[in-house]
Amino acid sequence: NAGVMQNPRHLVRRRGQEARLRCSPMKGHSHVYWYRQLPEEGLKFMVYLQKENIIDESGMPKERFSAEFPKEGPSILRIQQVVRGDSAAYFCASSPGRDMNTEAFFGQGTRLTVV
Amino acid sequence: AQSVTQPDIHITVSEGASLELRCNYSYGATPYLFWYVQSPGQGLQLLLKYFSGDTLVQGIKGFEAEFKRSQSSFNLRKPSVHWSDAAEYFCAVALGFTGTASKLTFGTGTRLQVTL
Residues B21-30: tens digit of each pLDDT: 999 998 767 7
User: What is the distance between the alpha carbons of residues B100 and B45, in angstroms, rounded to a whole number?
Assistant: 13
CB contacts of A37 in chain B (<8 Å) are 106
Lowest-confidence range among A76-80, B21-25, B46-50, B79-83? B46-50
CB contacts of A4 in chain B (<8 Å) are 43
Chain A touched by B27 (CB under 8 Å): no
Distance of CA A42 to the CA centre of its chain: 15
- Beta partners for residue B44, in sequence order: B38
- Helices (H), ranges, A1-115: none
Residue range B46-58, pLDDT digits in tens: 999 998 888 999 9
The reported pLDDT for the residue numbered A8 is 97
> Any residues with CB less than 8 A from the CB of B52 and at least 6 apart, and which?
B30
Distances (CA, A) of B116 to B12, B13, B61, B62, B89: 11, 9, 19, 19, 20
Q: What average pLDDT does range B12-36 have in this prediction?
A: 91
Chain A touched by B44 (CB under 8 Å): yes
Q: Beta strand A65-68 with A75-79: parallel, antiparallel or unpaired? A: antiparallel
